[in-house]
Structure formats: structure tokens, C-alpha cells
Amino acid sequence: MGVQPANRDGLEPSPVEVEPAQAEVGSECSIKMGWSLVVVSLIVLWIASLWKVLYSSSSTSFSKTSFLSDDRALSKRNVLLVVAHPDDESMFFSPTINYLISRGHNLYILCFSIGNTRKQEFYQACAVLKVPLQQVKVLDHPDLQDGFGKVWDHELLAKIIEEEVSSHGIDMIITFDNYGVSGHCNHRDVHYGVCRLLHNVSKRSVEAWELISTGILRKYSGPVDIWLSMLLTLRYTDGMTHCLLNEHPRKSFHAMAEHSSQWVWFRKLFVSFSSYTYVNTLRKIEEEVKKS
């Protein structure tokens, strides 16, 4: 049996010296409870966010004004989505695609770089997203090959996009912003190709919108990012920024699964945790940007 510690007078055990072990246990419990609370809060927030995405009673275009609500809203718009690689459409743009298709707009997709094995996967993914296959085009241009460090000529990109715009009567283009979600140079080049086209066209016959890239925390916050996206969009009252919630996130998952050569574990995780599966914030590319 151990000797109990005594106070300085040697009379009774000092309560301060007896309790450290208990205090340590107490503090460990508090830390555990704190973490449990954080985890439970995150799970509740995730479920609430997913619920909002799936069962939102309001319009899925969240902004001061509805997306495509100008004087041409009653007629179908001819929209061209310009991407760099097969799977960009499913991984990043599915909220926009679902929004446009569900409202009856004519959506065309132009994909610049593709390998033979990925062509069929791209078509299958577009079929899942309900984009008519005759409105989907994939290129395999020798000067526009997939890869980091491969610089794509912006003038060439603009020329190809312009051909698509003319042949389908496109009045709206949607593409990456100048960071391109992941910073991939091909995504960024596609953005600058669209800017070059806007700079080249003499009259304002076509408008262009870019998908706003978010920081890494928001990028991997899944549906939770919808709250911040909606809040940030509210700051803009000029109709130049719109936040589109994905009405069918499961469809995005299925579309991505069609890219079977790319459907590895970390992409499954990406699609589940990426905010781009649940929300897209689009911003109109302004005149100043067009001229840059």
C-alpha cells in the first residue's frame, strides 16, 4: 500500500496533490466529448445540406434573379458547354447540365481532348446526363492532346469553338474560369480560348459564363458548400452570378461511373466529397475579361 502524500505540515493529504489523475481523466473525457460533438454536428450538417439539395422547395437557381430569366427565357437557349477532357462534364459541371436539361434548353458539349478508349465512355456518361448524343462532340486534334505541360493554342481553340457556335446557333457558352477548378493547364487554356473567341466576335451575339473555382476546403466539403455558395451569390444583385444546385447528385455519380477507365477509388471519393457534385456557381465573363 502506498503512502498518501501529505501537505507541508505533514497532517492531512493535500487534495491538490491527490487529484491530478482524476483531472487528467476528466480532461480526456471533455476532449472526447468535444470531438464527438464536432463529428455529430458535421454529420447533421451534411445530411441537412443533402436534404436541401434533394428536396429544395425553391428554385434550384439560387440568386437574386433566376438563371436564364431574361427576355429570351421563354424560348429554348442553345448552350455550348466547352470542356477539356472526357469526365470534366460529370465531375465538375453536372449541376449545370442537370439544370439546363431539366428546363428544356438545347445543350451541346464540346470536348477537346480524348483518347480512343475514353470516347465511348464519354458518350455513355452524356447519355446518363440526358444530353442528346448528336449534340456531343469529341475531338482528337494532334495539337490538343491531354496532359500537363501541353500548351494549347488559344487562337486554335477559339476557331474550333466559333465553328460550333456558328453551326448550332449557340447563344451561350459555359466553361471553366481562369483557374479551371484544379488548376489543370488544359482547363485554363479552354477558358482563354473562349475569352479569345469573345474578343474576336464583333457583335455581342454570344454570352459566356464561367464555373467559379473554389478553395480546397470548399472543394471537398460536399453538399455543405451549398450554404456558402448561396450566401456568396446573394452579394451579387446584377444577375451576373448564379448558384445552381444539383437536383440529381446520384445521376452525377452514375455518369462518372460510365468513365470506367477513370473510375478508381479516389475518383469515387472525389465525386462523393466534391462540392462540384452538388453545386455550381456560374459567373458571366465580363467585357473587361473578354479583352484580356
Catalog residues that contact Zn ion under the rule CB under 5 A: 84-85, 88
Comparison of 55 and 266: residue with beta carbon closer to Zn ion: 266
Q: Distance between CA atoms of 266 and 160, rounded to whole angstroms?
A: 33
Q: Which three cell numbers stand for residue 23?
A: 483531472
Strands 78-83 and 241-245, by their bridges, are unpaired
Closest CB 156 distance from Zn ion, rounded Å: 18
CB atoms within 10 A of CB 185: 15
Comparison of 53 and 114: residue with beta carbon closer to Zn ion: 114
Could you tell me which of 70, 266, 91, 48 has the C-alpha nearest to residue 184?
A: 91
Closest CB 184 distance from Zn ion, rounded Å: 5
For 44, 176, 218, 244, 275, the CA distances from 49, given in Å and listed in that order, are 8, 25, 14, 14, 11
Comparison of 85 and 242: residue with beta carbon closer to Zn ion: 85
State the residue number with the nearest CB to Zn ion: 85
Closest CB 85 distance from Zn ion, rounded Å: 4
The answer to whether the beta carbons of residues 146 and 254 sit under 8 Å apart is: no
The answer to whether the beta carbons of residues 82 and 173 sit under 8 Å apart is: yes
Q: Distance between CA atoms of 183 and 192, rounded to whole angstroms?
A: 13
Comparison of 111 and 198: residue with beta carbon closer to Zn ion: 111
Comparison of 88 and 225: residue with beta carbon closer to Zn ion: 88
Closest CB 151 distance from Zn ion, rounded Å: 15
Closest CB 83 distance from Zn ion, rounded Å: 7
